[in-house]
Structure 1
Amino acid sequence: MTSIRKRSWTAPDGSEKSGWQVDYVDSAGQRRRKQFARKKEAESWITTAAYQVQQGTHTPDSQSITIAKAADLWIKRGEREKLEASTLAAYDQHVRLHIAPLCGDRKLSQVTRPMVEGWRDTWLEKLSRPMATRVLRSLSAIVSEAQSRGYVAQNVVAGVKVRRAKREKPRVAIPTKAELQAILKAASASTEPMAHPLALMAIFAGLRASELRGLPWRCIDFSAATVAVDQRADLKNVIGPPKSEAGYRTIPLPPSAVAALKIWKLACPPSNDELVFPSIAKRVMSHRYMNLTIMRAVQIAAGVCDPMVKDGKPALDQDEQPVMVQRYSLHDFRHAAASLWIEQRVSPKRVQAWMGHSSIQVTFDTYGHLFDQADQDGAVALAIERELAPTRHLDDART
């Protein structure tokens, strides 16, 4: 049963106050009340609340918590589950810089879909579209966590999306074959002995940077010509399990990579974790050193680089020479490996397995255009064969 009645009282300062009080019974049979300044607001609220009670999706304000509190519970759960340090840092940034300042004091029971759509629009105005999407996704995860704890009956954020046109979908940066050849040649001539095996593993095995940094020698099978992935190094250089269950995998290696690894193993300094690519201190190599020191030097030597631009002008070093920056990151070589496999007609499921993707959808979302191109190339080859086949048969008949 629900009712709305006017209520008057005397405030502590002696002034007379009045408001409209809603009395109702929640889904658990508990009597609840909520007060509004205007009758119209009370009537509007009770219409929605009555429907939510009937559907079992109503949460009284007294049993709910703020978005800021829910975010804290969500972050702490991630810490207990030992999520990667970089992931937790990103989540903390979403909450601290974007969610808490905008809506952190709002109780979950008071959040409506129109509110969330307004917050989404605010983030789209202030942030890049990808960042706005990630922040909105974090907010949905926060509410979902609170829902599982009984602080809110439904997740109204789940239905709010950041729409992206197909033309806005970014294409991955993939080095050309000529660039890859130049990089491998420069790496083989580098004074850094691990540069060549590192470049080969990055290009032909498609390992993540964290997997290269945490790769132990026991995972290299020289006789089978494979590399197995069963651990990785996080942002803080701590060795741990792969990113997901799909991260556990075995990838074939070409003879050139096997040969280079055999030579490097003889010169590789021992480390506590028996790493293939240890740091100078014989520990886990930092991502920055591997990417910006070793692979940057290789790319510049190979001519796969571009001048650094600062304030619209080429940056110069102390000798007034242009400062060059590498064209590709370690992750771009991962894309190169996928493109080479796809070009060789490796099936999508096998590409998914070798890349360590959690689902085939991730593989298609990232490399779908390459599979399309491979299919088109195959169709062209078949068409050419059909055109030449009659001529070949005539030639055979004459002989």
Structure 2
Amino acid sequence: MATVKKRAWTTAAGEKRDAFRVSYTDSSGKRQHKQFTLKRDADAYRIKVEGELAQGIHTPDAKSATVAEAADVWIASCEASGCDRGTLKTYREIANRHIKPQIGNEKLSRLSAPRVVEFRDAMMVTRSHAMAGKAVRHLSMILAEAMRRGLVAQNVARAVKVKRPRGEHQKLAKRAEIPPAEHLKAMIEAADQLGDEDPRLPVLLRVVMLGGLRASEARGFAWPSADLKIPSLSVTQRADRWNEIGRPKSNAGHRCVPIGPRLATTLKAWQLRCPPSKLNLMFPNARGGVIDQKGFIGLLVKVQVAAGLALDTGRKDRKGRTIWAPRYDWHHLRHVAASNWLNDGIDLKRLQVWIGHENIQLTIDVYGHLIIDAKKDAALAAGAEAALLA
């Protein structure tokens, strides 16, 4: 049991002081003390300590880890569980640049919801709302891991949120933009014309446009994952920004995507011509390895320059040549597959699976505006009118 006792003393300067001390024995049998100016604070702490001791989750201030130490524990745990290298890089950056400098020295045992609110408010003054939100969410993840390890009794950051300014929801909504049909045809024709120079291009564009693969998935796609009899493409791995092959970023990334017979025929022909690679990649680089991100974007720029779609950046390289930027990135071409599937009448749940989204709400947010059936809408409106005016 914890006790509260008032103690009084005289300072060296002759001033009389008093305070309320909470005393208790921790789970290791060591006597602990904590002092408060107000009795109500001491009583509140006594009740808190007794409850935590009963649950076996109390950590004395002297033994408590800091937020910075808990962040390191959390990142180490993520790394041990096989977390993606890119994700780990993001976690470290947010912890080291935003959380540790602001609140890293705080003891977990002393951390409170009001203190987290102060941290949130300070972040919103010096960072964007988006980054402030990420910092608070990651702090909550750190405390959740600390709770699992018995380093803290509760996650005081769980209920703290960063509200987006009015209208920011619309700004953040990444609705799919589908290139016009004439632009898609121009890119395919340009890729076909460039096929003698780089035979990967005609196949690559068709795989992304018809299979809905992400750029990282196309860069890391291996031939054993292509079943050209069914036919289908099974996404089982991807290439990260360091050109290392690993599993998809989420469980939803693992998926089997059906493809049409014409693409299957194209892939059969390409498989016979494809340069050998140790990783048995469908689209290897000149050395048989993974195409890096810059090179992969370069392929798309080359196609769009040939198609007359690339954007002039207004800059020149060292040889005085125009530096071009793509009008459409690989994600635009991935959206083409989703658009085609919707036009063919696919349901949203199947689209979610084929496109590799973690939840159907994301699928709705990205592709919901493409679900348009003018004839059906007109029929529904006519039926409602007839029922009302009959």
Quote the sequence identity (%).
36
In the alignment, is residue 157 of structure 1 matched against residue 161 of structure 2? Answer: no
- Give the drift of 1:319: 7.5
Name the SS of the counterpart of 2:105 in structure 1: coil
Partner of 1:304: 309
Q: Structure 2: how far apart are the matches of 1:7 and 1:270?
A: 84
SS of structure 2 residue aligned to 1:119: helix
The alpha-carbon distance between structure 1 residues 340 and 70, as it changes in their structure 2 partners (threshold 3 A), is: same
Which amino acid in 2 is paired with 1:232? R
Q: How much does 1:10 deviate?
A: 7.7
In the alignment, the residues of structure 2 paired with residue 67 and residue 247 of structure 1 have an alpha-carbon distance, to the nearest angstrom, of: 33
Taking the aligned partners of 2:10 and 2:302, their CA distance within structure 1 comes to 77
| Residue 288 (structure 2) pairs with residue 289 (structure 1) | no
- The alignment status of 1:98 with 2:98, answered yes or no, reads yes
Q: 1:184 to 1:204 in 2, by over 3 A?
A: same
Contact 1:23 1:31 in 2 (8 A): no
- In the alignment, the residues of structure 1 paired with residue 25 and residue 353 of structure 2 have an alpha-carbon distance, to the nearest angstrom, of 50
Name the stretch that deviates more: 90-99 or 45-54: 45-54
The answer to whether 1:176 aligns with 2:182 is: no
Find out whether 1:73 has 2:70 as its counterpart: no
Distance 2:49 2:369 in 1: 45
Tell me which residue corresponds to 1:217. Answer: 223
Q: 1:267-301: CA deviations, max 9, x gaps?
A: 2110011110111110122122112x111211232
1:116, distance to aligned residue in structure 2 (A): 1.3
Tell me how many residue pairs correspond in the alignment: 373
Q: Of the candidates 206, 210, 220, which is equivalent to residue 212 of structure 2?
A: 206
DSSP 3-state at the match of 1:260: helix
Of 260, 264, 267, the match for 1:261: 267
In structure 1, list runs of 5 or more residues that go unmatched: 309-313, 388-399
Q: Which residue of 2 aligns with 1:358?
A: 358
Q: Which residue of 370, 373, 377 corresponds with 1:380?
A: 377
The answer for the alignment partner of 1:50 in structure 2 is 47
Task: Indicate conservation of the 8 Å contact 2:176/2:367, yes or no.
Answer: no
Counterpart Cα distance in 2 of 1:379 and 1:280: 51
For residues 320 and 84 of structure 1, do their structure 2 counterparts lie closer, same or farther at Cα, with a shift above 3 Å needed?
same
| 2:164 aligned with 1:167 | no
More displaced 10-residue stretch of structure 1: 144-153 or 337-346: 337-346
Quick one: structure 1 residues 18 and 353, their matched pair in 2 at CA, closer, same or farther if it must change by over 3 Å?
A: same
Matched, 1:188 2:189: no
Kept in 2: contact 1:219–1:228 (CA 8 A): yes
Asked if 1 retains the 8 angstrom alpha-carbon contact of 2:140 and 2:155, the reply is yes
Change in Cα spacing, 1:231 to 1:4, as seen in structure 2 (3 Å) is same
The answer as to whether partners of 1:231 and 1:240 remain within 8 angstroms in 2 is: yes
Partner deviation per Cα, 1:137-173 (whole Å, 9 max, x = no partner): 2111111111100010110111111223533432235
- 1:343 and 1:163 map into 2 onto residues whose CA distance is 36
The residue type paired with residue 327 of structure 2 is: R
**Could you say if the C-alpha distance between residues 237 and 301 of structure 1 is closer, same or farther in structure 2, counting changes exceeding 3 Å?**
same
**1:229-271 CA distance string (max 9 Å, x none):** 1222223222222323322221112344223323322221100
CA deviations on 1:2-38 (whole Å, 9 max, x unpaired) are 4253454889xx99996735214489697532135xx
Structure 1's 385 and 273: CA in aligned 2 closer, same or farther, altered over 3 A? Answer: farther
Matched residue, 2:115? 115
Which residue of 1 is the match for residue 387 of structure 2?
none
Amino acid at match of 1:247: G
TM-score by length of 1: 0.82
| 1:238 corresponds to which of 232, 235, 244 | 244
Distance of aligned partners of 1:117 and 1:224 in 2 relative to their CA distance in 1, 3 Å threshold: same
Report the alpha carbon displacement of residue 335 of structure 1 after superposing the two structures with TM.
2.8
Question: 267-276 or 201-210, which moves further after superposition?
Answer: 201-210
Residue in structure 2 matched with residue 390 of structure 1 by the alignment: none
CA offset at residue 46 of structure 1?
4.1
Contact 1:71/1:142, CA 8 A, preserved across alignment: yes
Question: Deviation of residue 318 (structure 1)?
Answer: 5.8
CA RMSD of aligned residues (A): 3.1
Give the Å deviation of 1:106.
0.5
Name the TM-score, length of structure 2 as normaliser.
Answer: 0.84
User: CA 1:110/1:332 → structure 2, altered by over 3 Å: closer, same or farther?
Assistant: farther
Distance 1:49 1:120, change over 3 A: farther
Contact 2:218 2:238 in 1 (8 A): yes
Structure 1 residue identity aligned to 2:4: S
- Contact 2:178 2:339 survives alignment (8 Å): no
Structure 1 residue 342 and structure 2 residue 342: aligned? yes
After TM superposition, give the deviation of residue 87 of structure 1 in Å: 0.6
Aligned to 2:6: 5
Once residues 59 and 366 of structure 2 are traced to their aligned partners in structure 1, the CA distance between those partners, rounded to angstroms, is: 40
In structure 1, what is the Cα distance between the partners aligned to 2:10 and 2:212? Answer: 71
Unaligned 5+ segments in structure 2 are 385-390
